[in-house]
Amino acid sequence: MIDWTTAILILAGVVGGIVNAVAGGATLITFPVLLATGLPPVAANISNAIAVSPGHLLAVIADRRSLPALDCHLSLLLLLSALGGLAGAGLLLIIPERAFTMPIPALIAGATLLFALAPRIARPADSRERRDHGTKRREAGLLALTAIYGGFFGAGLGIILTAILSLSEPHDIRRIKAVKNLLASTVAIAANLFFLLRGAVHWPLALPMLLGAIAGGYAGGHLVRVLPANVVRGVVLTAGAVMSIVYAFKYWI
Protein backbone atom coordinates (compact mmCIF):
# COMPACT_ATOMS: atom_id res chain seq x y z
CA MET A 1 0.00 0.00 0.00
CA ILE A 2 1.28 3.50 -0.91
CA ASP A 3 1.57 5.82 2.09
CA TRP A 4 0.42 9.43 2.03
CA THR A 5 3.89 10.90 1.56
CA THR A 6 4.58 8.72 -1.48
CA ALA A 7 1.16 9.51 -2.93
CA ILE A 8 1.73 13.26 -2.52
CA LEU A 9 5.18 13.01 -4.13
CA ILE A 10 3.77 11.11 -7.12
CA LEU A 11 0.97 13.65 -7.44
CA ALA A 12 3.43 16.56 -7.22
CA GLY A 13 5.55 14.89 -9.89
CA VAL A 14 2.53 14.45 -12.17
CA VAL A 15 1.50 18.08 -11.69
CA GLY A 16 5.09 19.22 -12.24
CA GLY A 17 5.38 17.16 -15.41
CA ILE A 18 2.15 18.61 -16.79
CA VAL A 19 3.19 22.14 -15.82
CA ASN A 20 6.55 21.73 -17.57
CA ALA A 21 4.88 20.43 -20.72
CA VAL A 22 2.29 23.21 -20.86
CA ALA A 23 4.08 26.26 -19.49
CA GLY A 24 7.33 25.37 -17.66
CA GLY A 25 8.18 26.09 -14.03
CA ALA A 26 7.79 22.65 -12.43
CA THR A 27 10.46 23.35 -9.77
CA LEU A 28 8.23 26.02 -8.25
CA ILE A 29 5.78 23.20 -7.52
CA THR A 30 8.01 20.21 -6.80
CA PHE A 31 10.82 21.72 -4.70
CA PRO A 32 8.51 23.10 -1.95
CA VAL A 33 6.74 19.72 -1.76
CA LEU A 34 10.06 17.97 -1.11
CA LEU A 35 10.91 20.53 1.56
CA ALA A 36 7.51 19.92 3.16
CA THR A 37 8.39 16.22 3.63
CA GLY A 38 11.07 17.30 6.08
CA LEU A 39 13.97 16.59 3.74
CA PRO A 40 16.90 18.97 4.40
CA PRO A 41 17.05 21.77 1.79
CA VAL A 42 20.20 20.59 -0.02
CA ALA A 43 18.92 17.01 -0.18
CA ALA A 44 15.52 18.30 -1.35
CA ASN A 45 17.20 20.32 -4.09
CA ILE A 46 19.17 17.29 -5.28
CA SER A 47 16.11 15.04 -5.26
CA ASN A 48 14.17 17.70 -7.13
CA ALA A 49 16.91 17.93 -9.77
CA ILE A 50 16.65 14.18 -10.36
CA ALA A 51 12.85 14.25 -10.45
CA VAL A 52 12.37 17.05 -12.99
CA SER A 53 15.36 16.20 -15.21
CA PRO A 54 13.50 14.10 -17.84
CA GLY A 55 11.48 17.11 -19.01
CA HIS A 56 14.12 18.83 -21.13
CA LEU A 57 15.55 15.54 -22.42
CA LEU A 58 12.15 14.33 -23.62
CA ALA A 59 11.67 17.70 -25.33
CA VAL A 60 15.03 17.28 -27.12
CA ILE A 61 13.99 13.87 -28.41
CA ALA A 62 10.57 15.11 -29.49
CA ASP A 63 11.94 18.11 -31.40
CA ARG A 64 15.34 16.77 -32.47
CA ARG A 65 14.80 17.86 -36.09
CA SER A 66 15.00 21.50 -34.98
CA LEU A 67 18.52 21.06 -33.61
CA PRO A 68 21.30 22.73 -35.60
CA ALA A 69 24.30 20.83 -36.90
CA LEU A 70 27.03 20.18 -34.35
CA ASP A 71 29.64 22.86 -35.10
CA CYS A 72 32.50 24.31 -33.04
CA HIS A 73 30.31 26.89 -31.30
CA LEU A 74 27.60 24.40 -30.29
CA SER A 75 30.30 21.97 -29.13
CA LEU A 76 31.73 24.72 -26.93
CA LEU A 77 28.30 25.48 -25.47
CA LEU A 78 27.76 21.79 -24.70
CA LEU A 79 31.17 21.54 -23.01
CA LEU A 80 30.51 24.66 -20.94
CA SER A 81 27.08 23.32 -19.98
CA ALA A 82 28.58 20.04 -18.75
CA LEU A 83 31.43 21.70 -16.86
CA GLY A 84 29.11 24.32 -15.37
CA GLY A 85 26.63 21.67 -14.25
CA LEU A 86 29.44 19.76 -12.53
CA ALA A 87 30.78 22.93 -10.89
CA GLY A 88 27.33 23.93 -9.61
CA ALA A 89 26.67 20.44 -8.25
CA GLY A 90 30.07 20.39 -6.55
CA LEU A 91 29.46 23.81 -5.02
CA LEU A 92 26.10 22.67 -3.67
CA LEU A 93 27.70 19.76 -1.83
CA ILE A 94 30.58 21.68 -0.26
CA ILE A 95 28.87 24.81 1.05
CA PRO A 96 27.35 24.82 4.54
CA GLU A 97 23.61 24.05 4.65
CA ARG A 98 22.92 27.54 6.00
CA ALA A 99 24.61 29.10 2.98
CA PHE A 100 22.06 27.35 0.77
CA THR A 101 18.97 27.93 2.90
CA MET A 102 19.53 31.68 3.26
CA PRO A 103 19.07 32.50 -0.44
CA ILE A 104 16.17 30.02 -0.97
CA PRO A 105 13.44 32.69 -0.75
CA ALA A 106 15.37 34.92 -3.16
CA LEU A 107 16.03 32.00 -5.53
CA ILE A 108 12.35 31.05 -5.61
CA ALA A 109 11.29 34.69 -5.99
CA GLY A 110 13.84 35.22 -8.77
CA ALA A 111 12.67 32.09 -10.58
CA THR A 112 9.06 33.26 -10.23
CA LEU A 113 9.94 36.66 -11.69
CA LEU A 114 11.78 35.02 -14.59
CA PHE A 115 8.77 32.80 -15.19
CA ALA A 116 6.53 35.87 -15.26
CA LEU A 117 8.79 37.50 -17.86
CA ALA A 118 9.19 34.31 -19.91
CA PRO A 119 6.73 35.27 -22.69
CA ARG A 120 8.73 38.42 -23.39
CA ILE A 121 12.03 36.54 -23.27
CA ALA A 122 10.69 33.85 -25.60
CA ARG A 123 9.79 36.44 -28.24
CA PRO A 124 13.01 38.32 -29.06
CA ALA A 125 12.61 41.68 -30.73
CA ASP A 126 12.40 41.41 -34.52
CA SER A 127 14.55 44.52 -34.87
CA ARG A 128 17.63 42.73 -33.56
CA GLU A 129 20.07 41.51 -36.17
CA ARG A 130 22.28 38.45 -35.97
CA ARG A 131 25.24 39.31 -33.80
CA ASP A 132 28.96 39.02 -34.48
CA HIS A 133 31.65 36.84 -32.92
CA GLY A 134 31.85 39.18 -29.92
CA THR A 135 28.25 38.33 -29.10
CA LYS A 136 28.99 34.62 -29.39
CA ARG A 137 31.85 35.01 -26.91
CA ARG A 138 29.54 36.90 -24.58
CA GLU A 139 26.93 34.18 -25.08
CA ALA A 140 29.47 31.52 -24.08
CA GLY A 141 30.50 33.45 -20.96
CA LEU A 142 26.92 33.96 -19.83
CA LEU A 143 26.16 30.32 -20.52
CA ALA A 144 29.04 29.15 -18.33
CA LEU A 145 27.69 31.16 -15.37
CA THR A 146 24.13 29.99 -16.06
CA ALA A 147 25.24 26.35 -16.19
CA ILE A 148 26.82 26.70 -12.74
CA TYR A 149 23.53 28.10 -11.46
CA GLY A 150 21.71 25.21 -13.15
CA GLY A 151 23.83 22.62 -11.37
CA PHE A 152 23.42 24.49 -8.08
CA PHE A 153 19.66 25.17 -8.07
CA GLY A 154 18.21 25.26 -11.57
CA ALA A 155 14.76 26.87 -11.22
CA GLY A 156 14.20 29.07 -14.25
CA LEU A 157 17.23 27.62 -16.06
CA GLY A 158 15.36 27.18 -19.34
CA ILE A 159 14.14 30.78 -19.28
CA ILE A 160 17.66 32.14 -18.70
CA LEU A 161 19.05 29.96 -21.49
CA THR A 162 16.35 31.20 -23.85
CA ALA A 163 17.35 34.80 -23.15
CA ILE A 164 21.06 34.07 -23.70
CA LEU A 165 20.54 32.16 -26.95
CA SER A 166 18.33 34.96 -28.24
CA LEU A 167 21.37 37.24 -28.35
CA SER A 168 22.87 35.49 -31.36
CA GLU A 169 19.80 33.80 -32.87
CA PRO A 170 16.95 36.28 -32.37
CA HIS A 171 14.51 35.22 -35.08
CA ASP A 172 14.26 31.41 -34.99
CA ILE A 173 12.43 30.72 -31.73
CA ARG A 174 11.96 27.01 -32.48
CA ARG A 175 15.70 26.59 -32.97
CA ILE A 176 16.33 28.56 -29.76
CA LYS A 177 13.97 26.28 -27.83
CA ALA A 178 15.59 23.13 -29.25
CA VAL A 179 19.12 24.26 -28.32
CA LYS A 180 17.87 25.47 -24.93
CA ASN A 181 16.47 22.02 -24.16
CA LEU A 182 19.72 20.39 -25.33
CA LEU A 183 21.90 22.61 -23.14
CA ALA A 184 19.57 22.30 -20.12
CA SER A 185 19.64 18.51 -20.52
CA THR A 186 23.45 18.59 -20.62
CA VAL A 187 23.60 20.66 -17.41
CA ALA A 188 21.15 18.32 -15.69
CA ILE A 189 22.88 15.12 -16.81
CA ALA A 190 26.28 16.37 -15.65
CA ALA A 191 24.98 17.55 -12.27
CA ASN A 192 22.85 14.45 -11.70
CA LEU A 193 25.73 12.09 -12.53
CA PHE A 194 27.81 13.93 -9.94
CA PHE A 195 25.03 13.58 -7.34
CA LEU A 196 24.63 9.88 -8.18
CA LEU A 197 28.35 9.16 -7.91
CA ARG A 198 28.45 10.94 -4.55
CA GLY A 199 25.44 8.95 -3.30
CA ALA A 200 23.64 12.21 -2.54
CA VAL A 201 20.20 11.30 -3.93
CA HIS A 202 17.46 10.44 -1.42
CA TRP A 203 15.77 7.79 -3.59
CA PRO A 204 12.76 6.99 -1.34
CA LEU A 205 11.49 10.52 -2.03
CA ALA A 206 13.08 11.25 -5.41
CA LEU A 207 11.88 8.10 -7.19
CA PRO A 208 8.12 8.54 -6.64
CA MET A 209 8.32 12.15 -7.83
CA LEU A 210 10.46 11.13 -10.82
CA LEU A 211 7.90 8.50 -11.88
CA GLY A 212 5.10 11.02 -11.44
CA ALA A 213 6.98 13.62 -13.47
CA ILE A 214 7.49 11.19 -16.35
CA ALA A 215 3.78 10.31 -16.35
CA GLY A 216 2.85 13.98 -16.05
CA GLY A 217 5.15 14.96 -18.89
CA TYR A 218 3.57 12.34 -21.14
CA ALA A 219 0.07 13.46 -20.16
CA GLY A 220 1.05 17.11 -20.55
CA GLY A 221 2.12 16.43 -24.12
CA HIS A 222 -1.52 15.67 -24.85
CA LEU A 223 -3.08 18.19 -22.46
CA VAL A 224 -1.08 21.04 -23.99
CA ARG A 225 -3.66 21.06 -26.77
CA VAL A 226 -6.59 21.71 -24.42
CA LEU A 227 -5.26 23.25 -21.20
CA PRO A 228 -5.02 27.08 -21.39
CA ALA A 229 -1.35 27.93 -20.86
CA ASN A 230 -2.32 31.22 -19.18
CA VAL A 231 -4.29 29.37 -16.50
CA VAL A 232 -1.37 27.04 -15.79
CA ARG A 233 1.02 30.00 -15.70
CA GLY A 234 -1.26 31.73 -13.21
CA VAL A 235 -1.21 28.72 -10.89
CA VAL A 236 2.59 28.46 -11.08
CA LEU A 237 3.09 32.19 -10.48
CA THR A 238 0.74 32.11 -7.49
CA ALA A 239 2.56 29.09 -6.04
CA GLY A 240 5.92 30.77 -6.57
CA ALA A 241 4.81 34.00 -4.91
CA VAL A 242 3.31 32.18 -1.93
CA MET A 243 6.37 29.96 -1.48
CA SER A 244 8.68 32.99 -1.65
CA ILE A 245 6.79 34.60 1.23
CA VAL A 246 6.54 31.37 3.25
CA TYR A 247 10.26 30.66 3.02
CA ALA A 248 11.17 34.29 3.65
CA PHE A 249 9.39 33.96 6.99
CA LYS A 250 10.99 30.58 7.64
CA TYR A 251 14.60 31.43 6.81
CA TRP A 252 14.84 35.21 7.19
CA ILE A 253 12.59 36.08 10.12
Cβ neighbours around 152 below 10 Å, total: 23
pLDDT at 123: 60
pLDDT at 129: 47
pLDDT at 152: 95
Cα–Cα distance measured from residue 28 to residue 244, given in angstroms and rounded to the nearest whole number: 10
Q: What is the mean pLDDT of each run of 10 residues along the chain (253 residues)?
A: 89 89 82 94 95 84 83 94 98 94 92 83 52 74 94 87 77 78 93 96 96 88 75 85 91 89
Distances in whole angstroms, Cα of residue 190 to Cα of each of 81, 147, 210, 219, 239: 8, 10, 17, 27, 29
pLDDT at 187: 96
- Asked whether the beta carbons of 24 and 154 are under 8 A apart, the reply is no
Helices (H) and strands (E) in the chain, counts: 12, 0
pTM of the model: 0.85
Nearest to 44 by CA among 130, 153, 120, 157: 153
Cα–Cα distance measured from residue 4 to residue 1, given in angstroms and rounded to the nearest whole number: 10
Q: Which residues contact 242 (CB under 8 A, 6 or more apart)?
A: none
Nearest to 109 by CA among 16, 28, 18: 28
pLDDT at 56: 78
